[in-house]
Amino acid sequence: MSFFHPSRSRLDRWYHTGEVDEGLEQHVEACVKCSDEIERIAVDQVDVTSALTAVLEPEPGLEARMGSRIGEALLAKQDLQLMWQVLSSGVNTAKILLDQPHPDTGR
């Protein structure tokens, strides 16, 4: 058995990829610290999997709620664009009025 403990990332890779690593396997079989670490990696994996499943499974009615949210967002964006057009046309009108040449100096 190797004297050095393998790194957490090496244990993690071995656990997740299933790649053959004889030195590591022999070490893990004989080393309580590293077999505990493998157990922790396995538990973390279960936590991540169940958390992902909970997140990825849509709640009932989610699709309808998403649809109405997206609709509201699109309407709000249209309102903003309309408001921007109104405001910018006001600014353009003011510029045209202010840029008129002075009647006496012609500038």
| Alpha carbons 22 and 26: distance in angstroms, whole number | 6
Q: How far is the CB of 44 from Zn ion (least distance, A)?
A: 18
The DSSP-derived string for 6-40 is PPHHHHHHHHHH----HHHHHHHHH-HHHHHHHHH
Residue span binding Zn ion (CB under 5 A) among the ranges 17-25, 32-40, 61-69, 71-79: 32-40
**Residue with Cβ nearer Zn ion (23 or 71):** 23
Q: How far is the CB of 58 from Zn ion (least distance, A)?
A: 43
Q: Do 5 and 33 touch, CB atoms closer than 8 A?
A: yes
**Residue with Cβ nearer Zn ion (5 or 10):** 5
Residue span binding Zn ion (CB under 5 A) among the ranges 14-22, 25-33, 51-59, 84-92: 25-33
Residue 33 contacts Zn ion per CB under 5 A: yes
Residue 5 contacts Zn ion per CB under 5 A: yes
